Structure 1
């Protein structure tokens, strides 16, 4: 395939022991340790109080990362096209729905239902930011971050306009957790632009690997454990190269026989 290229103007991160991108950058460059702590998910900014109360962990993870990335880019969130990528949805909500359906009174609340759909975070984002641009929502199991990155890069290349990528996944309660053992919530967001600007942090170029290639791992055991514990955290090798302000090549999980190769060129 022809490589797809874009410039990263903003990054947002939230995860276990990681409150934001500056802290994540310090951890990824070993300027600070990764502390064992559950992901602290803030109430989503920009939403009316009624909608804020209805949000679950998956919406909070997605919007926290998205707000940070857009703020760093200096762009108007309302004008950005967006791609949302996740391997699942609100696991706690799914669990509650299953319990309700298995009970003697299987009556689902409207809030439970509308939070169960895969595009719920995209909908809450449009409410919070008054975004009117198109948004795509996709799922590719453990390759969801790479799938979202490919879709975002394609949009930037074809439309010639900046695009927001948001990837996120949250943990599941038992018994769903036994089938899908995601440890904790993780969210990452990138603002991708077609041209270099004064806000550009790095240039990335992605292409599918035609032959089997080993996926990039992290040297630090704790960070590698985080990478494999959540599909959205598969972005960490890419983030590590950007945090270190170095030119690098990384290979990310995508399809079983076709990973995604990404070239990172530092601009900082």
Structure 2
């Protein structure tokens, strides 16, 4: 990474209460942290798809894998934080949403539009994960779904930090993406299945703290998680998770328009 720039006085800040993580072979934050530190390999018999307990069995079956991974990490972060999911505002950030369903919708509309599945149709919207989350958690708090391609997680982090700065006690941030399908995969590259989540709250003593600000573009040295999941569209968030695992003090996340979101960490 290029030489760090000074943190401005106006940096947004928050404490980190809980972390959630899932990728194939690393089904929770403990496994991911051990892998990031070089202390363990991927879990050989880990499931290839999460099964979020927040949803009833029939809903789990109908939910696409992108929704499943988003809810899996969201609930894990809330449980790690000791927070009731229903009480948190949430931000769901995904570069592409569910490309498998998007590919199905486009192909079906082009060939046999009258046969399109209502279930798949309602899963095609970009806020599908946020919708499943609010229903499953019984959450009446605001839920935001956003996309900014490679900058999705950084922009989601800015949104969550802004909510805390303007009065929310805590906010849930979730980043996730699945694999590319069909012609879309040629222009919207993504592989595997990946999700990461943070429960952020007002900074206080005893919690790891992050401070974030927009600055000049830079690229963090990729850690083991970032290298392992480099093909996924949500991989740009992984330098932060590598830094949390290894207790590094600063990373830069792509934020769009030739800028980076610089994140400074203190590990209490």
Pairing of 1:8-87 with structure 2 (within 5 A): 8-34=16-42, 40-87=48-95
- Which residue does the alignment assign to 1:250? 251
Deviations along 1:110-146, one digit per CA (max 9) or x if unpaired, are: 2111101011101100111101111111110011010
Cα distance, 1:51–1:224 mapped onto 2, change above 3 Å: closer
Bigger shift: residues 154-163 or 182-191: 154-163
List structure 1 runs of 4+ shifted beyond 4 angstroms: 34-39
Report whether the alignment pairs 1:259 with 2:260.
yes
1:165-198, Cα deviation, whole Å (9 max, x unpaired): 0110110222221121201110000000003265
Q: More deviation in 151-160 or 231-240?
A: 231-240
What pairs with 1:177-188 in structure 2 (closer than 5 Å)?
Answer: 177-188=185-196
**Selected match of 1:207 from 213, 221, 226:** 213
Matched with 2:230 is 228
Tell me by how many angstroms 1:71 deviates: 0.5
Residue 44 of structure 1 contacts residue 52 of structure 1 at CA under 8 Å; is this kept in 2?
Answer: yes
How large is the Cα RMSD of the aligned pairs? 2.0
What do the CA deviations read for 1:16-66 (whole angstroms, capped 9, x no partner)? 321110000001111113479997222222223332222001100100110
Contact 1:144 1:231 in 2 (8 A): no
- 1:224-253 CA distances to partner (integer Å, 9 max, x unpaired)? 433532232222221122212x35111111
Aligned residues of 2:24 and 2:194 also touching (Cα < 8 A) = yes
Aligned to 2:121: 113
Task: Choose 69-78 or 153-162, whichever is displaced more.
Answer: 153-162
Q: Distance in 2 between matches of 1:74 and 1:158?
A: 23
- Equivalent runs, 1:99-248 vs 2, <5 Å: 99-196=107-204, 200=207, 202-209=208-215, 211=216, 213-220=217-224, 223-244=225-246, 246-248=247-249
The answer on whether the counterparts of 2:93 and 2:146 sit within 8 Å (CA) in structure 1 is yes
How many residues align? The count is 260
Q: Is the Cα contact below 8 Å between 1:45 and 1:128 reproduced in 2?
A: no
Quick check: 1:170–1:186 contact (8 Å CA) kept in 2?
Answer: yes
Distance 1:28 1:94, change over 3 A: same
Q: 1:247 & 1:176 partners in 2: Cα distance?
A: 36
Which stretch has the larger CA shift, 115-124 or 171-180?
Answer: 171-180
The aligned counterpart of 1:6 is 14
Alignment CA distance shift 1:255-1:130 (3 Å) = same
